[in-house]
Structure 1
Amino acid sequence: MTRKTQYLILILAIAGLGIFLWRDKADQIHYQLPTINRVPGSKISKITVRQDQETIVLRKDAGSWTLPPRGYPAHRGRVTRMLRAVGDLQLSALVSQSTHYERYGLDQNQAIRVTARDRQDRILRRFEVGKTASTSQGTYVRLADDPNVYLTQSNLRSALDVDASSLQDKQVLSFAPDRIHKIDLQLAGDPGISLHTTSEQGKTKDKNQDQPGPTQVRWVTAQDTTVNATAANSLIRQLSSLRCARYIEDKDKEDLRAPQLRVTLHGKSTHDLRLFSLSGNNSGETAGTSSDNAFPFILSSPAAKQIQERVHKLVP
């Protein structure tokens, strides 16, 4: 091979490499990821999540998140996760420019369609969520008016794949147990009983004389009869963070009458729980209303049974 031929081959190789690098750079520019600005959660006042035939709406009213149309309270922790997922959306890679969305979980039947709006109902963010990538923690997404499929930096599906029941805050009573000093109990057909705490100084005996001991707290009736303190304290602890199994969709609190049991707890504030037997209810569940919640609810059978057992230990 002549020196001239060698030079010619070298020149062609350099030219080919230059063309390759130029095309690669052009591709990088062509595939530049969209810039997505962060949306603070405080600016979002409404989130709509649509998946297949189900639509869930979350709305912020007077600083609290609720689920229309009934207005059930929304679970604060789950709403916070959703706000972060929506507001902090960031992309890590362009995955596909094809419109074959099924493999990414972004077709009509699988995609989760998310829209976030402000107080004036202006759209702040709109995108679709698909499957979680098998090779990373990211999720496949499509942005509004963009046919491309992208990969996110974090797992959005775990925060946005929700149903209405899982978003409801089902806590129906909430208070500090150590603040309660009086309990009123009333069973159906019974005049009721009132219990309160009383304290007395205990004594510790030594060889020479009685010494003051720790203060002892008793639960007593109005007639100063001591009752089962373990049952009283267990009842208070259970009710201090009582959660329902579900809300009753077709009733208001006023529709439930003649409670089978009423428990009123007095502390810094007063908390009232009423339990009802529903006609035709064969599930073993019990309906209830609470002063701490605006909606009637169903307690699970174990929870209702535990409350009733503890009350019966206190009522002679």
Structure 2
Amino acid sequence: MKLKKEYMVLAVIVVALLLYILFKSPDKTHYRLPEVGKIVTNDISKLVIVRPTGALTLERQGDKWRIQPQGYPADQNLVDRMLKTVGDFELSTLVSESKNYTQFDLTEDKKISLEVFGGEKSLRKLDIGKTASTYQHTFVRLEGDHRVYQAKGNIRQPLDTDIDRLRDKTVATIERDYVTGISLKIGEETLTVKKREEPAPPPYAGTEDSVMSEPGPVWATEDGLVAKENIINGIINTLANLRCSEYIEGKNKEDFTGPMLSITVESTSTVTLEIFDKRDDNKYPAISSQSDYPFLLAEGVVNRIKKTPDELLVKAGEED
């Protein structure tokens, strides 16, 4: 009887093992990923990003974003990448339950913490670690959850930034097709040129297939001195979407006086740019009527603007 019971127990164990092997799939996921849900980017009003080197807050104001508490305008392209990253956020796999975060760069000295707000409501809060070796996933932790997950995509890179990189570096914009005048002052010399339309020249005489030339713009002073069109166009193109290399911290526009170069461009709006003596690092301090902050321009940019009357005007016998 005892032997019979042992056989029955053994049979039950064997059946249980067979059932386990039968229904167990090596690829089957035996857990459920948290429901994170989608965030509509238009609902996002604020992003708070904390990196080991510091924190920054991005806040929507109308259709623009500003870095707070400084109030600096943010680069819209970089903000759009951040918003897309938040909107596309999706978990793919549970990676670890061990609470050992070092290998995932989810420790205090490595992680990036992100909190997303819609109005005053917190929509999402998570820690972001390193990107997987394939750059197709990123290790993350959700608020209140000790486990480590993989999120789809490289979500760290768009958020791993600082205030200087995130600031909008655009310091002047002009509608190049509507520029009507340029005034350039270097030291005590001032040169002002205005745009006028040149009448079309007559067709060449004696040719049957002569074609009338289109009238073209001419840049000239009040005295009729003609400016070189290629140099004028170079100045306009440089100022059409002028970006600085960096902003000057701890200084106000009022701290800069006596520019070595001043240029005013008349277009749909008037823009004035003042450039000061070059620093030892070959960068030029400057201020713009379209920016609230002093900034630095690279030497190459200034060289495209800094033109003396002798360089700008067409000399006798010289073609434009």
User: Taking structure 2 as the reference length, what is the TM-score of the superposition?
Assistant: 0.86
Q: What does 1:77-156 align with in structure 2 at a 5 Å threshold?
A: 77-120=77-120, 122-135=121-134, 137-156=136-155
Equivalent position of 1:69 in the other structure: 69
Describe the superposition over 1:100-131 as per-residue Cα deviations: whole angstroms up to 9, x where unpaired.
101011111111111112332x2111101111
Q: How many aligned positions are there?
A: 305
Q: Secondary structure at the match of 1:213?
A: coil
CA contact (8 A) 2:271 2:289 kept: yes
Amino acid at match of 2:110: Q
Instruction: Decide whether the 8 Å contact of 2:228 with 2:313 is kept in 1.
Output: no
Deviation at 1:136?
5.6
> Following TM superposition, by how much is the alpha carbon of 1:34 offset from its aligned partner in structure 2, in angstroms?
0.1
Please state if 1:283 is matched with 2:284.
Answer: no
Structure 1, gaps ≥5 residues long: 1-6
8 Å contact 2:174–2:268 — kept in the other structure?
A: no
Which residue is equivalent to 2:298? 300
Match in the other structure for 2:160 = 161
Task: Structure 2: give runs of 5+ residues left out of the alignment.
Answer: 1-7, 315-320
Distance of 1:214 and 1:252 partners within structure 2: 48
CA offsets, 1:116-173, max 9 Å, x none? 12332x2111101111112460100000111000001121012111122221110111
* Cα offset, 1:215, TM superposition: 1.1
- 2:3 maps to which residue? none
Separation in 1, partners of 2:282, 2:231: 23
Distance 1:114 1:156 in 2: 11
The 2-side partners of 1:33 and 1:61 are apart by: 35
Identity %: 29
Q: Deviations over 1:223-271 (max 9, x none)?
A: 1111111111111111111110111111122222222211111122212
The one-letter code sitting in structure 2 at the alignment partner of 1:33 is L
Cα distance change of structure 1 residues 251 and 135 upon mapping to structure 2, 3 Å threshold: closer
In 1, the alpha carbon distance for the partners of 2:254 and 2:96 equals 56
Following superposition of structure 1 onto structure 2, how do residues 20-35 of structure 1 map, counting pairs within 5 Å? 20=21, 28=29, 31-35=31-35
CA shift in 2, pair 1:180/1:135, >3 Å: closer
Q: Residue 188 of structure 1 contacts residue 258 of structure 1 at CA under 8 Å; is this kept in 2?
A: no
Amino acid at match of 1:37: G
| Alignment partners' CA distance in 1, 2:17 and 2:80 | 53
- Could you tell me how far 1:272 is from its partner in structure 2? 1.5
2:218 corresponds to: 218
What secondary structure does 2:115 align onto? strand
Distance 1:148 1:168 in 2: 35
The root-mean-square deviation of aligned C-alpha atoms, in Å, is: 2.7
d(CA) in 2 for partners of 1:35, 1:310: 65
Equivalent in the alignment of 2:5: none
CA distance in 2, matches of 1:9, 1:310: 101
Q: Secondary structure at the match of 1:15?
A: helix
Change (3 A) 1:24 1:213: closer
| Structure 1 residue identity aligned to 2:161 | V
Alpha-carbon separation, structure 2, partners of 1:124 and 1:81:
18
Q: In the superposition, relative to structure 1, how do residues 255 and 138 fare at CA in structure 2: closer, same or farther (>3 Å)?
A: same
1:264 aligned counterpart, secondary structure: strand
2:135 and 2:284 map into 1 onto residues whose CA distance is 45
Check 1:204–1:74 CA distance in 2 against 1; reply closer, same or farther (3 A cut).
same
